[in-house]
Amino acid sequence: MNHSAVILAAGKGVRMRSQIPKVLHLVAGKPIVWYVVNAVREAGINDINLVVGYGREKVEKALAGENLRFVIQEQQLGTGHALMQAQQSVNPDSTLIVLAGDTPLLQAETIKKLLDYHHQQEAQATVLSAILTEPYGYGRIIREADNGLKYIVEEKDASPEEKLVTEINTGVYCFEAKTVFSTLSKIRTNNAQGEYYLTDVFPILKREGHKIAVLAIEEAEQIHGINDRVQLAQAENIIRRRHNQELMRKGVTIMAPDTVFIDRQVDIGMDTIIYPYTCIEGETRIGQNCIIGPYTRINDSTIGNNVVIESSRINGAQIADNCNIGPFAYLRPEAHLHEGVKVGDFVEIKKSEIGEGSKVPHLSYIGDALLGKGVNIGAGTITCNYDGKNKHQTILKDGVFIGSNTNLVAPVTIGEDSVTGAGSTITRDVPAYSLAVERAEQKNVKYNKKRKD
């Protein structure tokens, strides 16, 4: 049995008050429309057509890797007009799912149920409906006396009596493709918006004797579309809650889940504990038996097993097993920590590789550096990697011990098992097994009289 889908995503989204196309606003780290595409694909439909219009170049770029067929709607003349544009792209012998690109809460299981019900009823069209206590803004399902579908009326065209109806049209439909496309040519624009409403095909189908079924969804939250920033925040809250629950069922402990924000694509291993007020974003992967937080933000990073990160900022870093980070550490892009590294409080690491078992305990900056195994960095140490024009590398070989308040002026290499004296400014290479000390001679000057307070 052939199945296809058309996702309507051509609108600007005026109420978002944004230059970004509505369907590209992020929800838990992914564009709104990505969730719709993902739900359709998880429902087993791979022939997916996306109708684009406003900002279509941005939409196509954002979804370039999703294996979609893009259909252009040059003028946004309504949902019926949008579906018309996809006629040449859809297999006429398929069963067609049509849905809006701004409904990220819709689940794959609901799409499967709609398809199954459509086939069971041997219908030419099936409407997904829902019961809302506050149906304002939605089209209403008006039923016949025998409970069948009579027609669908949009909010702006509804009479006072019709507005009292609480069963609403979700904007998700199932059609036999050949039938719906032949019917679309018969709809007109005699409505308050002057648009081609897709819902106008139902009275025509009914008059022509085609069966129309209605399936009421049980979880009404799935059908909520996003039209403004308030609804965006509401959808974000629901999607994050779902993802947190999914992670917890897989063996992750999330303390105070309402205070923890984890993007949809983040993966976390079992027996890891996430403390409150932690944000984990982007393409982040966290291993097993870790302790993360509180007050920690991580994005686009890979973290191994048995890692502790407390009250720190991790951005684009690679962290191997058994590392201990924080509190108040800052790992910037291309920071690469090997196994068993210690990074303490008020330490910043950027574009540097820290060897196995090395320690940067506190109050240091390590940038553009290559540290070997078992290196110990004293408090207050910095790599002076920037000369005002170019960045230079600092290399510390295995077993190096850097005394407190050392300035390492790059490019410079400290040989294996060497030591720098506290307070030194090292500007030249240090050979292996050496002590490097650079200090001005201390002078004690006696006062002629007691110093005034």
Domain limits, the chain = 3-223, 229-436
pLDDT exceeds cutoff 60 at 247: yes
Residues 134-171: pLDDT tens digits?
Answer: 898 889 999 888 777 888 998 888 999 999 999 999 99
Burial class (CB in 10 A: 0-12, 13-18, 19+), 422: middle
pLDDT exceeds cutoff 90 at 225: no
* pTM of the shown model: 0.88
Per-residue confidence (pLDDT) for residue 144, from 0 to 100 = 84
Residues 36-63: pLDDT tens digits?
Answer: 999 999 999 999 999 999 999 999 999 9
CA 80: distance to chain centroid? 31
Torsion of CA 192, 197, 202, 207, to 10 degrees: 70
Residues 108-130: pLDDT tens digits?
Answer: 999 999 999 999 999 999 999 99
Q: What is the residue whose two structure tokens read 């201990």?
A: 324
How much of the chain, in percent, has pLDDT values that exceed 90?
A: 85
pLDDT exceeds cutoff 90 at 448: no
Which of 40-44, 134-138, 299-303, 432-436 shows the lowest mean pLDDT across its residues?
A: 134-138
Per-residue confidence (pLDDT) for residue 201, from 0 to 100 = 94
Q: pLDDT-based confidence at 451, cuts 50/70/90?
A: low
The CATH number of the structural domain formed by 3-223 is: 3.90.550.10
Residues 374-415: pLDDT tens digits?
Answer: 999 999 999 999 999 999 999 999 999 999 999 999 999 999
Residues 327-386: pLDDT tens digits?
Answer: 999 999 999 999 999 999 999 999 999 999 999 999 999 999 999 999 999 999 999 999
Architecture of domain 229-436: 3 Solenoid (2.160)
Which of 66-70, 84-88, 444-448 shows the lowest mean pLDDT across its residues?
A: 444-448
Q: What is the DSSP string of 72-121?
A: E-SS---HHHHHHHTGGGS-TTSEEEEEETT-TT--HHHHHHHHHHHHHT
49: number of Cβ within 10 Å = 21
Nearest Cα to 363, choosing from 330, 411, 409, 397?
Answer: 330
pLDDT exceeds cutoff 90 at 190: no
Q: pLDDT-based confidence at 446, cuts 50/70/90?
A: confident
The secondary structure element, H or E, covering residue 174 is strand 167-176
The pLDDT mean for the chain works out to 94
Residues 255-269: pLDDT tens digits?
Answer: 999 999 999 999 999
CA distances from 5 to 37, 45, 101, 250 (A): 9, 7, 11, 31
pLDDT exceeds cutoff 60 at 453: no
DSSP-derived 3-state class of residue 215:
strand
Q: What are the contacts of 286-290 at 24+ separation with CB within 8 A?
A: 287/321
CB of 37 closer than 8 Å to CB of 69: no
Nearest Cα to 335, choosing from 281, 386, 325, 363?
Answer: 325
Q: Identity (one letter) of the amino acid at 136?
A: Y
**Dihedral sign computed on CA atoms, order 134, 138, 143, 148:** negative
Give the residue numbers annotated as catalytic, written as ranges.
Answer: 362
Residues 83-93: pLDDT tens digits?
Answer: 999 999 999 99
DSSP-derived 3-state class of residue 6:
strand
